[in-house]
Amino acid sequence: MSFLTTIFENLRTKPELTKLIEVHATTLRGTDGNGMLDLIARARGSLADAGVEPGDRVAILAPNSVRWVSADLAAIAAGAITVPLYDRQEPKDLAGMLSNCRPKVLMAGSEALAKSVTDVWADSDACKIITFDTLFDHEPSEAAPRELAPEDTVAMIYTSGTSGEPKGVMLSRANVDFMLPMTAARLGAVSKPKEGPDRVFHFLPFCFAASRITLWTQLSRPNPMMISTDLNKLVVEMATAKPNYFLNVPAVLEKIRSGVGAKIKERGGIGLELYTRGIDGYKATVAGKASFVQKAALALAEKMVFPKIRDQIGPNLEFLISGSAPLSEDTQRWFQMLGIPVYQAYGLTETTGIVSLDQPDRTVPGRVGIPLEGVQTKLSEEGELLVKGPHIFSGYWEKDDETKRALSDGWFHTGDQVDIEDGNLKIIGRIKNLLVPESGHNIAPEPIEEKFLEHCDGAEQAVLVGHAKPFLAVIVTGKPTQDAIDKALETVNADKPFYKRIKQSIVVDEAFTPENGLLTANQKLRRAVIEKHFSTEIEAVYEAFRAEKEEKARMEAAR
């Protein structure tokens, strides 16, 4: 039975367990399986009128909602290939994707969203634009979901474009059929038994592969899901949802940790003292070097401080899931210290979102888990992770050369430099992100950036630069003092060889965001774009170094 058949059967026979609930600040608005079937049937009618046939591309441009999910399922049920787009991405980037995939229909959440793209999309006249209001204002179609062959493409998801032009990743029914039982089984292994269903909250855009798998997993189990509708009110929504767990990106977890620390530091007093001593006691205990005093301090914090923090983050939280990028070891341990396990997931769009997931009894902070059963992994001579299995995509849309470079004898080249210990993966960095300064050494920037951020109060983002340069420098956002930067650099450089030491810092006022194009839609650094954007500031640092070097040489010659 295909995943689509399972979902439709659950919508029909278990409407309460397939309910999707929109979280509007302090209000919950639910639509059960019957309501979704009606929305799907109406969307099917609209798509049929638009002449959509099996194999046609149908794009979706809208924020998360019940209607988004219904539109997506309607297109797949019609045999079309859905192309989900990020509604907050730059219109010119979206226009490029749409020109590439040439959709028969674009389903847009609103007239304004549609116009933002059609204004810059040269080929928009060849596509029928249907807003959600029109899409769902149609007589319901009575057509049953079309039977899909295992090799049929059901979704085409564009890569984030961290290092070049986004590519359309084609995922098949077989890819999804393999993945959903795997994710459901892992959830079953970590979720606590309870009388009712799990309280699941989701805020990441459904256009991302891992988000789509999270959604379809809940509909397949089946289990209700609460959906964020306004990222600007995320804290309020989480308080309303009171989830047992939810999917995160590291940036959100880092902000939670730094926000808690900032509030406690601002209040000061005995609370700050207990919190600080509790952290020290926990670190010493984990290292197996805790003294009696440190153990006592930890016990007191676990009784007086940590439960209050845990309740503020989420009174019903059983665990958290983190994906998209590696989570720092310190942050993962911090949540564990509070009694909230964080399970990491690792994968790419090309791997149907997932390669590995943490297992509760084999979770190692800083590592991203054990490969799924049926997934093969190995390392190339350069330390690049290669992956093979039923979850590997069929290819990039109309990019045969790119597909051949990415796939070799069924092995997908992830581009990630990885360490494997006892089957557990640790992401060191992207092979393509390696910096090679004038010394000729290969340097993965991610671990150095992570350590800098851990030790620099007030710093929010950090990007290492120095490719083909005489030394490394770091671009920093946030409001760190120079003293905080200097102390962090001293700590970071202490155990590094000369070629890995950061010699200069560049503090910039502009944060990296998807809106200014310095982050991808799923919060990954667009390193080449960042370097180009701040090229003046970067060159000033190296020019000052060269000028100083020339002045020293001149003075020595004058002697």
Summarize the confidence of residues 275-280 as an average pLDDT: 95
Angstrom distance (rounded) from CA 30 to CA 20: 6
Query: What is the bridge-based pairing of β-strands 395-396 and 168-172?
Result: antiparallel
pLDDT at 507 over 80: yes
Prior bond to 480 cis, omega within 30? no
pLDDT at 526 over 90: no
Model confidence at 163, pLDDT cuts 50, 70, 90, reads: low
* Phi/psi of residue 197, nearest 5 degrees: -75, 165
For residues 218 and 288, state if they share a domain. Answer: no
Model confidence at 276, pLDDT cuts 50, 70, 90, reads: very high
CATH code at 462? 3.30.300.30
For residues 53 and 107, state if they share a domain. Answer: yes
pLDDT at 538 over 90: yes
pLDDT at 340 over 90: yes
For residues 385 and 276, state if they share a domain. Answer: yes
H/E element holding 27? Answer: strand 27-31
Rg (CA), the chain: 25
More confident residue, 498 or 56: 56
The side-by-side arrangement of strands in the sheet containing 472-478 is 459-465, 472-478, 502-507
Model confidence at 290, pLDDT cuts 50, 70, 90, reads: very high
Angstrom distance (rounded) from CA 442 to CA 323: 26
What are the tens digits of pLDDT across the range 71-102?
999 999 999 999 999 998 889 989 999 999 99
Angle between helix 292-304 and helix 269-286 axes, rounded to 10 deg = 120
**How many CB atoms neighbour CB 518 within 10 A?**
21
What is the model's pTM? 0.84
Highest mean pLDDT among 86-90, 140-144, 548-552 belongs to 140-144
Point out the domain boundary residue: 431, 448, 474.
Answer: 431
Point out the domain boundary residue: 386, 407, 431.
Answer: 431
pLDDT for residue 436: 83
More confident residue, 359 or 439: 359
Asked whether the CA dihedral 33, 35, 39, 42 is positive or negative, the reply is positive
**How many CB atoms neighbour CB 128 within 10 A?**
18
For residues 276 and 201, state if they share a domain. Answer: no
**How many CB atoms neighbour CB 299 within 10 A?**
12
In the predicted model, what is the mean pLDDT of the chain? 93
pLDDT for residue 468: 81
Is 358 within 8 Å of 330 (Cβ atoms)? no
For residues 517 and 537, state if they share a domain. Answer: yes
For residues 219 and 277, state if they share a domain. Answer: no
Is 375 within 8 Å of 355 (Cβ atoms)? yes
pLDDT for residue 164: 60
pLDDT at 246 over 70: yes
Burial class of residue 24, CB neighbours in 10 A (0-12, 13-18, 19+): middle
For residues 456 and 549, state if they share a domain. Answer: yes
- Nearby residues of 356 by Cβ (< 8 Å), 6 or more positions away: 345, 346, 347, 368, 369, 370, 371, 372, 375, 425
The SS3 assignment for 436 reads coil
How many helices and strands (H and E) does the chain possess?
A: 19, 24
Angstrom distance (rounded) from CA 329 to CA 229: 31
For residues 412 and 270, state if they share a domain. Answer: yes
For residues 19 and 44, state if they share a domain. Answer: yes
CATH code at 273? 3.40.50.12780
pLDDT at 221 over 60: yes
pLDDT for residue 525: 87
Point out the domain boundary residue: 382, 413, 431.
Answer: 431
pLDDT for residue 73: 98
pLDDT at 165 over 80: no
Is 267 within 8 Å of 224 (Cβ atoms)? no
- Percent pLDDT > 90 in the chain is 77
pLDDT at 549 over 90: no
More confident residue, 324 or 397: 397
Angstrom distance (rounded) from CA 480 to CA 466: 21
pLDDT for residue 439: 78
Six token digits for residue 189 = 């292994």
More confident residue, 556 or 507: 507
More confident residue, 553 or 134: 134
Summarize the confidence of residues 136-156 as an average pLDDT: 97
pLDDT for residue 559: 66
For residues 75 and 191, state if they share a domain. Answer: yes
Summarize the confidence of residues 512-524 as an average pLDDT: 84
Summarize the confidence of residues 373-392 as an average pLDDT: 94
Residue that the structure tokens 């950090």 belong to: 462
Summarize the confidence of residues 381-398 as an average pLDDT: 94
pLDDT for residue 412: 97
- Percent pLDDT > 70 in the chain is 98
- Nearby residues of 12 by Cβ (< 8 Å), 6 or more positions away: 33, 37
Model confidence at 70, pLDDT cuts 50, 70, 90, reads: very high
What is the length of the chain? 559
For residues 388 and 512, state if they share a domain. Answer: no
For residues 441 and 422, state if they share a domain. Answer: no
Is 437 within 8 Å of 491 (Cβ atoms)? no
The residue range of the domain holding 255 is 248-315+319-431
Count the domains in the chain: 3
pLDDT at 231 over 90: no
Six token digits for residue 219 = 């509909």
What are the tens digits of pLDDT across the range 109-135?
999 999 999 999 998 999 999 999 999
